[in-house]
């Protein structure tokens, strides 16, 4: 969860949110100073106190603010259960005699990384629930989420997600690539706040590194190298052995030609003008391939593209039961 982006989203429905907290500049200076010293355990209490101060003079949080926070909470549950289920497969009756997070030193390192990510997501959930109080959505059941991409049928294109490491990391890449684009989609709302913009872009760069790590790991596995290596051949297939960054539209991602395609993750958003596809080669009104003479792939790799909230929700709905109201 990115607290700065969350408050920026709330600003869209409650323009006075900064005045409720404090002056715009002072509140984010406080966050920047506290961020290095504040423990994860203390963060929920701090956020809860912040929102109590902001909205304590009213009987309840404004409806639009509740909607923003609960959408963020829904996304956190989606990610938390994904990593937690992978780490605790025996608990949920999933077979363990497979290649997921098992087998040697490399797998042990992978498991430690996934454990850290899972724990972060759990902290995010606690923070959001503290901020929402009684307005938080009921905790969704783990069984509500279908990581096969089958919308509750559990027979989608990723049906071996918890028994096959290649599928697991492909889905993980799909989630994080969606998140990076969604995060950038909110950046224009930060332009009038230089302190917030600086902090937000710093966090965005970390999210992009997560994507790069997962992609490098996938490329290593496809090459038969269980840990990322510095000297690997350029991957022949962006679907199974991706570069460490998005190239063009990444051949549609991990599952481009199935009933639940990952193509929207790399395609244009609701407005192709505002949210172009990842293979876009036009920046600031200039066609990079024409101006520089570099290839279209190289030109697209030099920039990330944003994605709108509506498209992000459409992607997320593939991973919950069709009857669910999450991401609607």
> What pLDDT shows up at residue 255?
85
Task: State yes or no: pLDDT of 227 exceeds 60.
Answer: no
Q: Which residues contact 143 (CB under 8 A, 6 or more apart)?
A: none
- Say what percent of the chain tops pLDDT 70: 68
Q: What is the DSSP string of 165-202?
A: HHHHHHHHHHHHHHHHHHHHHTGGGGTT-HHHHHHHHH
> What pLDDT shows up at residue 189?
53
Q: What is the DSSP letter of 145?
A: B
Domains of the chain by residue range? 3-319
Distance CA 171, CA 257 (A): 15
> What pLDDT shows up at residue 57?
45
Higher pLDDT, 49 or 132: 132
* Region 70-86 average pLDDT: 87
Position 200 confidence tier, pLDDT thresholds 50, 70, 90: very low
What pTM was computed for the model?
Answer: 0.74
> What pLDDT shows up at residue 68?
66
Tokens of 25: 């500049």
At how many degrees (to 10) do helices 24-35 and 3-13 cross? 160
Distance CA 31, CA 6 (A): 13
Task: Write the Ramachandran bin of 23: left for phi over 0, alpha for psi from -120 to 50, otherwise beta.
Answer: beta
pLDDT tens digits for range 235-280: 568 888 899 889 999 999 988 888 888 999 999 999 999 999 999 9
Q: Which of 275, 283, 259, 266 is nearest to 309 (CA)?
A: 275
Higher pLDDT, 228 or 151: 151
Position 146 confidence tier, pLDDT thresholds 50, 70, 90: very high
> What pLDDT shows up at residue 23?
52
Considering the chain, what is the average pLDDT of its residues?
78
Q: Pick the range with the lowest mean pLDDT from 137-146, 185-194, 214-223, 293-302.
A: 185-194
> What pLDDT shows up at residue 199?
43
């Amino acid at each position: 969860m990115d607290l700065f982006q969350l408050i920026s989203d709330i600003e869209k429905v409650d323009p006075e949110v900064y005045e409720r907290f404090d002056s715009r500049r002072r509140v984010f200076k406080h966050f920047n100073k506290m961020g290095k010293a504040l423990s994860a355990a203390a963060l929920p209490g701090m956020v809860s106190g912040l929102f109590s101060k902001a909205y304590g003079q009213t009987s309840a949080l404004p409806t639009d603010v509740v909607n923003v926070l609960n959408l963020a909470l829904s996304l956190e549950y989606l990610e938390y259960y994904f990593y937690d289920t992978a780490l605790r497969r025996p608990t949920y009756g999933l077979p363990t005699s497979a290649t997921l997070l098992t087998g040697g030193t490399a797998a042990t390192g992978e498991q430690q990384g996934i454990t850290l990510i899972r724990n972060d997501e759990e902290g995010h959930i606690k923070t959001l629930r503290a901020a929402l109080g009684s307005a938080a959505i009921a905790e969704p059941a783990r069984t509500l989420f279908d990581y096969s991409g089958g919308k509750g049928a559990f027979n989608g294109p990723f049906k071996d997600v918890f028994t096959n490491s290649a599928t697991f990391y492909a889905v993980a890449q799909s989630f994080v690539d969606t998140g990076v684009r969604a995060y950038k989609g909110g950046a224009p709302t930060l332009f009038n706040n230089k302190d917030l913009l600086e902090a937000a872009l710093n966090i965005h760069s970390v999210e992009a590194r997560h994507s790069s790590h997962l992609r490098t790991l996938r490329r290593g596995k496809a090459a038969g190298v269980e840990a990322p290596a510095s000297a690997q051949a350029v991957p022949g297939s962006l679907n199974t052995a991706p570069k460490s960054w998005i190239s063009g539209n990444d051949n549609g991602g991990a599952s481009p030609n199935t009933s639940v395609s990952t193509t929207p993750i790399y395609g244009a958003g609701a407005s192709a003008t505002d949210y172009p596809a990842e293979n876009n080669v036009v920046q600031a009104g200039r066609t990079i391939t024409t101006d520089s003479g570099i290839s279209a792939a190289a030109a697209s790799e030099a920039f990330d593209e944003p994605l709108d909230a509506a498209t992000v929700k459409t992607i997320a709905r593939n991973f919950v039961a069709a009857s669910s109201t999450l991401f609607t």
